[in-house]
Every structure is written in structure tokens, then in C-alpha cells.
Structure 1
């Protein structure tokens, strides 16, 4: 069993780890292609509480936007795999992760091409 935590804001990955008040936890069982999803609303934004949740719940992978170096180093030391600086919809990031194609720094939004509409 593998557990993945993604701090979210609306339908996107939260831009900052320490300001997230909602997370989704994906639980992937061996042999099951679709992970179970659990949404949690946190009582307040706190990097310390998120770190505690990650460690106490046995999270193996964290997918997040920006994260302070202190928390990155601490969670890495605790053997949590971190894919940081990921920007875009959390569901798209989760799908790419499940396919083994998500990398730290991925931007999952399409850029708008301005000036191409003939105006």
C-alpha cells in the first residue's frame, strides 16, 4: 500500500505547503489501478501539523507546490519522497503520478497564447 498526500486549494495544488488548509490523501493498493481518495480539512494552516499528519499517517510521497527548505529537509530525512514545485490541478498531478510520469517542477497548466486570435 502506498499513500500520497497533496495539499490543495480548490481544485489546484496549494501554492504553498505551509498555507494549505485542505489535503487529499490517495491510497494505492497493489493490484488496484484506481486509488482511494480521502479529503481532509485542517483546522488551520500549519506546516508543523502537516508534517505530523504526513508522518503519523504513513505518507510515502508528498506532491506540493512551494515548500520551505527546512520542511523539505526534515521530511526527506524521514524518508518521505517529495515532488515539489508542481503547479496545476491536483487531479492531473495525481493521474500523472499514478502513471509514473510526474516530476518535481512540473507545470500542468497550458499557457494561453495571446495575440493568436487575429486581434
Structure 2
């Protein structure tokens, strides 16, 4: 199972990882190469902050983060923790997630 976190704002990737008002967390279980199960939940922050985001990433055992903007030191910290970060991605959450699930998502892509 892979846990994926996507910071969102109005169903689009939030402009900044650490200031996102909500996050979409997806648990993907791949049963075969073509099929799998996805469960999702949305968590809303009362006061978005880098600290709240770090705690959530660790508590939810996140392996992959897909985001738009992220500070370099935060990016490096997450990498040192073994978390895969795909950054500089823009667009609505659904097509971004679909691209990731089929292996077509890379940093710098725009889905608008």
C-alpha cells in the first residue's frame, strides 16, 4: 500500500505545500499491475502551517507527496525522511493523480 498526500485548495493543487488549507490523502493498494483499490480522505487545517503538515505526513505514514510550490529546505528534509516529493505540479487534483497512478507524472507538469 502507498500513501499519497496532495495539498489542495478548491480541488486544485495548493500553491504552497506548507500553507495548504486542506490535504487529500490517498491510500493505494495495487492488487495487480492494472487494478487496485484507492481510499481517500480530506483533512482540513484550522491554521495551515509547516509544523502541522509535518506532523500529518509522519502520522499518516506518507510515502509520496505531490505538490506545487515547496521550499527547498522542506523538500530536502522530506527526502532525507525517505519521502518521494514530486513538486512544481499545477492543476486540478484528479488529472494530476491519474497521471501519477499511470506513471506519467513528473516535476514541472501543468494540467490546466
- Give yes or no for TM over 0.5: yes
Q: CA deviation at 1:45?
A: 1.0
Match for 1:72 among 72, 75, 80? Answer: 75
For structure 2, list consecutive stretches of 5 or more residues without a partner in the other structure. none
For structure 1, list consecutive stretches of 5 or more residues without a partner in the other structure. 110-119
* Cα shift readout 1:4-50 (whole Å, capped 9, x = no counterpart): 00000001000111210100001001315341111111121101211
- In the TM superposition, what are the counterparts of 1:25-36 in structure 2 within 5 Å? 25-31=25-31, 32-36=35-39
Q: Give the distance between the partners of 1:81 and 1:54, measured in 2 at CA.
A: 12
CA RMSD of aligned residues (A): 1.0
Q: CA deviation at 1:55?
A: 1.6
* TM-score normalized by the length of structure 1: 0.87
Q: Which residue of 2 aligns with 1:92?
A: 95
Residue aligned with 1:93, SS: helix
Runs ≥4 in structure 1, deviation > 6 angstroms? none
What is the count of residue pairs matched by the alignment? Answer: 109
Q: Give the distance between the partners of 2:82 and 2:37, measured in 1 at CA.
A: 24
Q: Which residue of 2 aligns with 1:117?
A: none
Q: Give the distance between the partners of 2:21 and 2:51, measured in 1 at CA.
A: 12
